[in-house]
């Protein structure tokens, strides 16, 4: 985490997902072996298909491991994959601990428009994050039509 000052909640948080990463490695190796065997056997169509499936699995594995939240004075930037969402502090209604499914590791932000977003900020920092949000909240500027909740 890189904060702007000592004790500040601002910074970048990454979810360290636990899981059988070795299993992903096994699937990638098996896909590579299937690709090579299909190409050596003269079955280029199957080799191409196996290569595409292996690369897709590898890309999804990397995206699965890349979940991140950035807390800044402008708002929250959240990713769960390759797409970033920017959420201004004015759109954040509440920050709560998740139920049983989320465990005690992360928080959920309720966004205007009844949406919820998972934040990869440790649940122990909920009070600090709420205070930070209140300190940086500004009145929301007028939104263009079609932007119902202020999220880009």
pLDDT above 70 for 63: yes
Confidence of residue 35 (pLDDT cuts 50, 70, 90): confident
Distances (CA, A) of 149 to 73, 77, 111: 19, 15, 8
Q: What is the pLDDT of residue 6?
A: 47
Confidence of residue 1 (pLDDT cuts 50, 70, 90): very low
**CA 71/CA 129 separation, integer angstroms:** 9
Q: Which pTM does this prediction carry? A: 0.60
Q: What is the pLDDT of residue 130?
A: 86
Distances (CA, A) of 32 to 36, 62, 65, 66, 120: 6, 17, 21, 23, 33
CA-angle at 116, arms to 112 and 121, nearest 5°: 115
**CA 78/CA 9 separation, integer angstroms:** 15
Query: What value does the mean pLDDT of the chain take?
Result: 77
Q: What is the pLDDT of residue 2?
A: 44
Q: What is the pLDDT of residue 105?
A: 67
80 phi and psi angles, rounded to 5 deg: -140, 70
**CA 121/CA 129 separation, integer angstroms:** 9
């Amino acid at each position: 985490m890189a904060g702007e000052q000592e004790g500040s909640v601002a910074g970048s948080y990454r979810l360290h997902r636990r899981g059988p990463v070795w299993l992903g490695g096994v699937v990638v190796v098996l896909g590579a072996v299937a690709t090579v065997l299909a190409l050596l056997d003269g079955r280029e169509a199957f080799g191409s298909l196996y290569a595409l499936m292996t690369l897709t699995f590898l890309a999804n594995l990397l995206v699965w491991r890349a979940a991140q939240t950035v807390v800044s004075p402008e708002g929250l930037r959240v990713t769960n994959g390759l797409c970033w969402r920017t959420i201004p502090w004015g759109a954040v209604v509440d920050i709560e601990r998740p139920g049983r499914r989320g465990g005690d590791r992360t928080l959920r932000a309720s966004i205007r428009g009844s949406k919820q977003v998972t934040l990869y900020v440790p649940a122990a920092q909920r009070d600090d994050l709420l205070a930070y949000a209140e300190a940086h909240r500004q009145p929301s500027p007028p939104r263009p039509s079609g932007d119902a909740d202020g999220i880009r």
